Structure 1
Amino acid sequence: MGVADNIKKIREIFDVTQRELADIAGVTENAVSKWENGYAEPRMGAVEKIAACYGLKKRHIIEDGGMDMIDPLTKRPKQEISYPPGAIIPSPPRKAYAPLLGRVHAGDAKMPEILEDNISLPYEVWDRHREGYFLEVEGNCMSRVYPEGSFIFVDRRMEPKNGSIAVVSIDGDDYVMRRLYRGANTMILSPDSWDDSYEDIVITGDDGRIVKFEGVVVWFQAGKEME
């Protein structure tokens, strides 16, 4: 593996574009393209900037097989990694993407704000819930499990069980995320919050209200990890 392959491996491991790597190295995007295609090699100043940014040694960039010494999971030199006896080493994660459809209020029921974006998640999660979608959490009524600003991944095909955290629409307009409990004639949408001012939403068969399940929360991504 020469310089060209090392540069490609850096972009793969650290998930950066040619433009982003060019900004780090202080060169043009075209220069990075030439490095990767073997038409040119980075000057030492660019090598030093890249190495400093990612905690690498210059040899990891300029020597044959340099990036083979970097563990793709920890992004550290392999010889520096020490695992405890019996540890099961995870495979490097694959990414998938699901649509961010809006914001759901973790508080009083309200109409969700519609968004158009995509959020990354582990491939294995997406593969089990391929029709899933993301919602961004507003409010704190579920703060014990899903803090405000986090992204919840919702499987619309799953039927909620007692105790499941579900997204429901009420009367066709208002959406809310709560922990759901059902009896013979009663549905309780219960908060799970550090703030004890939130109360249960109790709906009985005599209320004449229409409740539609929009899915069960199966995974979440903390908002600050997306920055």
Structure 2
Amino acid sequence: MNAGDNIKKLREIHDLTQEQLADKLGVTRESVVKWESGKINIRDRHVSKLVEIYGIDPDDIKSENYGLAAKSLAETPNFPVGAIFPATPRKAYAPLLGRVHAGDAQAPEIIEDNVSLPYEVWDGHRDGYFLQVEGRCMSKVYPEGCYIFVDPRKQPQNGSIAVVSIDGEDYVMRRLYRGANTMILSPDSWDDGYEDIVISGHDERTVEFVGVVVWFQASKEME
């Protein structure tokens, strides 16, 4: 299986013609034909564009052994005619940008990495990114060390779990409640000792919404 086979499989998965794929990448149909026939190799910038559009891994296009075509030909048990085969999970990747404290507001620790997640989650929040949770302030909902997926475009509602920046620097993750002139950032922890952060209209503190938590997952597989 080569890159051309993987490109064909990508078109098949997304029900695209060669011309439609060419339009998405800003190339001619002839270029796609040559990629698929193996006459020329697809350039890295076009692979990167496919990764961005479809939330796939570069190896899904470039790898002979682990590309989309090879995955589709993986050995399958014998099933009776008419059997429905289980769908192959699709992965996407989002950046891990840092750590957020589930406790007192603190400046975020910057990390630069990528984390895989289900394609369906990423597809609904394409501008989202991961933060790693520090502290036990939200332990009833998100355990310490897990990755939370934050949508910066989603507007928080009363009861949403939001990441906010306080006074332009400190970050905190808490459950958010808003009244007429008051905002409450409330803990949701199994541990005692955490208190609400209450900000009223008379305070001089500023609050910026960084995003709403829409997904979480463990930072590593359970042993």
Q: TM-score range by the shorter chain?
A: 0.5 to 0.7
Of 124, 147, 153 in structure 2, the residue corresponding to residue 151 of structure 1 is 147
Runs of 4+ in 1 over 3 A off after TM superposition: none
TM-score (norm 2): 0.63
**Cα distance in 1 for residues equivalent to 2:156 and 2:123:** 20
TM-score (norm 1): 0.62
Of 102, 105, 109 in structure 2, the residue corresponding to residue 109 of structure 1 is 105
**Cα distance in 2 for residues equivalent to 1:226 and 1:132:** 25
1:100 paired residue number: 96
1:168 paired residue number: 164
Paired residue type of 1:128: G
The root-mean-square deviation of aligned C-alpha atoms, in Å, is 2.6
Over alpha carbons, which structure has the higher Rg? Answer: 1
Of 76, 95, 103 in structure 2, the residue corresponding to residue 68 of structure 1 is 76
Query: How many residues are matched?
Result: 152
Is the alpha carbon distance of 1:147 and 1:185 closer, same or farther for their aligned partners in structure 2, counting shifts above 3 Å? Answer: same
- Structure 1 gap ranges (5+): 1-14, 18-32, 37-64, 70-76, 80-87
**Cα distance in 1 for residues equivalent to 2:158 and 2:205:** 20
Is the alpha carbon distance of 1:224 and 1:208 closer, same or farther for their aligned partners in structure 2, counting shifts above 3 Å? Answer: same
Matched residue of 2:210: which SS? strand
Paired residue type of 1:182: R
1:217 paired residue number: 213
Paired residue type of 2:111: L
**Cα distance in 1 for residues equivalent to 2:181 and 2:220:** 40
- Structure 2 gap ranges (5+): 1-56, 66-72
What CA deviation, in whole Å up to 9, does each residue of 1:83-130 have, x standing for no partner? Answer: xxxxx9863210000000000000000000000000000001000000
> What is the CA distance between 1:208 and its match in structure 2?
1.0
Q: Which moved more, 1:89-98 or 1:149-158?
A: 89-98
> What is the CA distance between 1:226 and its match in structure 2?
8.1
**Cα distance in 1 for residues equivalent to 2:74 and 2:110:** 46
**What are the equivalent positions in structure 2 for 1:42-53 lying under 5 Å apart?**
none
> What is the CA distance between 1:224 and its match in structure 2?
3.1
